[in-house]
Amino acid sequence: MKATDYIIDFLSSKGITDMFGYPGGVICHLMDSASKYSDSIKAHTNYHEQGAAFAACGYAQSSKKPGVAYATSGPGATNLVTGIANAYFDSVPAIFITGQVDTYAVKGDLNIRQRGFQETDIVSIVKSVTKYCVYVENPEKLRYYIEKAYWMATNGRPGPVLLDIPADVQRSEIQVEEQLGFFPDKEKLITNIESVSGETERIVKALQKSKRPCFLIGSGIKQSGQEFIFRKIAEKLNIPVVSSMPAFDLLPYKHKLNFGFVGANGHRYANFVLGKSDLVITLGSRLDLKQVGNNRSLFASNARLIRIDVDAGELTYKVRDDEEQIVADLKNLIPDLALDVKFVGTDYDEWVDICEIIRDKLKGIDEEIYHKLIAEVSERVPENVGITADVGHHEVWVAQSYRVKENQSVYISGGLGSMGYSLPAAIGIYYGSKLPVICFNGDGGLQMNIQELQFIRRENLPIKVIVINNYALGMIRHFQEKNFNANYVQTTNDSGYTAPDFSKIAAAYELDYYRVERIEDVENIDFCSTEPALIEICVPINTYLVPNFGYKGPLHDQDPPINRELYDYIMSL
């Protein structure tokens, strides 16, 4: 069997239906093999390797199966790096395959920079942002390498892996059944937790003692596929739920127990709920600086803090000295907790009522026109739709104002925060879910991977591409206004940054185009249509992110400060 035939057959056997890449000389054997298996797995051509990498991320995030992206050696491989890093920081299972020059053309120990044309040591480059990466020097080791790569990508805390395969290895004939496979050491399996019953018992006892508990949930719940079971736990216990920004979609906007996302730019009411709780249980949220603030000791200072994470390394970065830590895979812990919550027996109705008062008093307090436009769009988007957001002001506005419905999921570049993610990720999300996608972008971020509009047009995908145009790199412009006396450099039309006429961009890619300048214009757009479109939402240049962290106080005392009478009233509840 040809080596690349085996690779494609292996990926297909794992239920992977789509892969993404860009053609190149030393990856042609993989592409040729993919064409033989097109009935079960499709290889899609992107227009930049970074686009392919982000599409693989989106596919993995929506399908719960590993995403796959491939590229040729040299610049093809290095163009994947940003997407690989995105998968690493957001715990996205992904398999990256790069072609490499023939083994006899590799420089080896020679004291030269390069021997073969486009030869690049991609393994050394991506070592710090992969769970596993290997140069496949021998075709007889291919089975072991790919089985290990798949296991590493999908077990424990998920993440990216990379196989760098020379062209002569790709074209080799191999006897797969005669090769050594990969068999993980069961004693070292991260997911082989002997028992979580003792941990869930500790959580139940903490809940029994608590009068004002809340769950703080992160995207680890998404990655573990436990969204539905967690929701049932929260509803059974009647406990308020707050989230990290990447997980703000885990409960619908109108769900009684959804009290928003926490952090610097989080909902004020979410931060107050957190600050007034006496027990905070975190599930799959790493509590980074954007959530916790620079003075970590002030985080949920009135509460007993129980942190649950699959990655023991994340727990080495403590929030508070008195925090309690549980290392567990949510795939095991949440179902076990669902069985045990019947023993809690505590009524939290009064606490939920207080949280609802806080939410009612503070909802919309920071709302501007751009928030209202996003809210109006969300009202018109049907259920069973994926939503992506790029990086910038608009991403936070989406988290603050998009009203998530049942069966809607939102995807962002969380840890890496990469501009250019949203558009190619939307492509992957479509293939991973077969659902239409609403793709939010800023005018800056869209230009990072704008070439993927051709993919959408070529395949006629049901993706609505929204560009929120404030005619500037708004987040940096805002930072310059605050910290550099409004010395705008490379962020505005007269300081080195411009955006194109998006109506002409739409025409060039043969996409339907809509221009929104006021809320009423949203009524003209049929979001139920499956036809791809480019929608430009025009907002003022002087846009801002509010609220934000206060300078000295607790997380819930955000900047700009709210009326002190209102603040004191909420604190008295």
pLDDT in tens, 414-444: 999 999 999 999 999 999 999 999 999 999 9
187 pLDDT tier (thresholds 50, 70, 90)? very low
Residue with tokens 């090769």: 179
Mean pLDDT calculated for residue range 78-99:
98
Query: Superfamily assignment of 197-362 in CATH?
Result: TPP-binding domain (3.40.50.1220)
The answer as to CATH 3.40.50.970 being correct for domain 3-181 is yes
Look at residue 47 and tell me whether its pLDDT is greater than 90: yes
Topology match between the domains 3-181 and 369-538:
yes
186 pLDDT tier (thresholds 50, 70, 90)? low
> In this structure, what are the phi and psi dihedrals at residue 404, rounded to the nearest 5 degrees?
-65, 130
How far is 53 from 69, CA to CA, in rounded Å? 6
- What is residue 195's predicted lDDT score, i.e. its pLDDT? 60
- What is residue 190's predicted lDDT score, i.e. its pLDDT? 46
How far is 402 from 379, CA to CA, in rounded Å? 8
Mean pLDDT calculated for residue range 241-261:
97
Look at residue 571 and tell me whether its pLDDT is greater than 50: yes
Mean pLDDT calculated for residue range 241-267:
96
- What is residue 365's predicted lDDT score, i.e. its pLDDT? 94
295 pLDDT tier (thresholds 50, 70, 90)? confident
Segment 317-322 long-range contacts (CB within 8 Å, at least 24 positions apart): 317/286, 317/287, 319/287, 319/292, 320/296
pLDDT by residue (tens digit) across 331-386? 999 999 999 998 899 999 999 999 999 999 999 999 999 999 999 999 999 999 99
541 versus 196: the higher-pLDDT residue is: 541
**Angle in degrees, 0-180, between the axes of helices 393-401 and 369-380, rounded to the nearest 10:** 60
- What is residue 7's predicted lDDT score, i.e. its pLDDT? 98
- Domain parsing of the chain, residue ranges: 3-181, 197-362, 369-538
Pick from 112-121, 345-354, 403-412: least confident: 112-121
- What is residue 119's predicted lDDT score, i.e. its pLDDT? 87
C-alpha dihedral, 269 to 270 to 272 to 276, nearest 10° = 130
Mean pLDDT calculated for residue range 553-557:
88
Helix/strand/coil for 126 = helix
How far is 332 from 334, CA to CA, in rounded Å? 6
- What is residue 189's predicted lDDT score, i.e. its pLDDT? 52
pLDDT exceeding 70 applies to what percent of the chain? Answer: 98
Look at residue 18 and tell me whether its pLDDT is greater than 80: yes
Mean pLDDT calculated for residue range 200-205:
93
pTM for this predicted structure = 0.95
The answer as to CATH 1.10.10.10 being correct for domain 369-538 is no
Pick from 196-200, 253-257, 529-533: least confident: 196-200
